[in-house]
Amino acid sequence: MFLNASGCLDALTAPDVARSLDGFVTKTVTPEARAGNAPVRIAETDFGMVNAIGLANPGRDAFVADTLPRLRSLGVPLWVSVGGFSAHDYAATCAVLDDVTIELNLSCPNVDEAPESAAEIVRACREATSSTLYAKVSPHSWDMGETARAIEAAGADGISMINTLKGVTLDATLRPALARGAGGYSGPALRPVALAAVMAARRATDLPIVGMGGVETGRHALDLIACGATQVALGTVLFADPDAPSRIRAELEQELSAHGFDTPADAFCAALKTVASLENSRKR
């Protein structure tokens, strides 16, 4: 199952791209409208980009009244990314969303974070809604397994990983290219970080995992599946290649065949099984 990473695709501007996915993830919605951070908000790097958009969005009421009905008309399963600055913010937005999957943005590097822990926010949202809840987590945790277990215990139905890493790039005058200074770094260099995070989380939980981070080819998607991802999200690649979903889907089929697998399910956790086998051999 292929999704887009939140904020990397405008389905109303590019509906055909959205329809080539198995589900569309909205840009993060907050209780109040946000203009976002001051420009410059996006800058390219050698191996990706940094952004500090700052959760620009029309706010919960306008999203539910106007944007959501227009997105439903596309006929694509919808995931709504929910953000906020307290557990109450998150829960209040979740409470007014129906017939969508909710992805809790718990790890945006471009705004101030809620004071509550990820597990506390998930727990508050679980009490507010019966909708499917995914928690999108930061790659900065040294123990992703512990994070996964805490989120599962709090009531999440799935995990999305990873969000961007905090990064800085400088312009020709040696000033930060972004007005905010630091931003969220995304692109190919995130792949090893994403694979490690997915593998660690998979060893700790049986929850569905949306793996993302630098996916550009079918082989990259297969790598995430082999580490334990049940779904794959495409991010930065969509800015340069709107045909990426169809291309990567076809490439994945070729990669599966080349490795002797009939379906993605056959390749699920293939890398993790190798690690477990090595660990068992060392214990003998």
Q: Tell me if 95 sits within 8 A of 118, measured CB to CB.
A: no
- Residue 207 amino acid letter: L
Residue 8 falls in the annotated catalytic set: no
pLDDT value of residue 282: 57
pLDDT value of residue 112: 65
- Residue 112 amino acid letter: D
pLDDT value of residue 232: 98
Dist. CA 151–CA 88, nearest whole Å: 17
Three-point CA angle 70, 71, 76, nearest 5°: 140
Q: Which of the following is catalytic: 94, 108, 227, 269?
A: 108
Q: Tell me if 240 sits within 8 A of 246, measured CB to CB.
A: no
Dist. CA 34–CA 157, nearest whole Å: 28
Residue 172, Cβ neighbours under 10 Å: how many?
A: 6
What pLDDT, in 10s, does the model give residues 167-186?
999 999 999 999 999 999 99
Lookup result for tokens 């919605």: 29
Q: What is the pairing mode between strands 2-4 and 231-234?
A: parallel
Which pTM does this prediction carry? 0.94
Sheet with 24-25, side-by-side order of all strands: 2-4, 231-234, 209-211, 158-161, 133-136, 101-105, 78-82, 24-25
pLDDT value of residue 127: 98
The tokens for 231 are 């779904």
Largest CA distance in the chain: 62
Q: Mean pLDDT for each consecutive 10-residue tract of the chain (284 residues)? A: 96 98 98 96 95 96 98 98 96 97 84 79 97 93 88 97 95 97 95 97 97 98 98 96 98 98 97 67 56
Q: 2-283 domain in CATH 3.40.50.2030?
A: no
Cα dihedral 67, 68, 74, 80 in deg (nearest 10): 110
Dist. CA 53–CA 45, nearest whole Å: 16
Percentages (nearest 5) of helix, strand, coil residues in the chain: 40, 20, 40
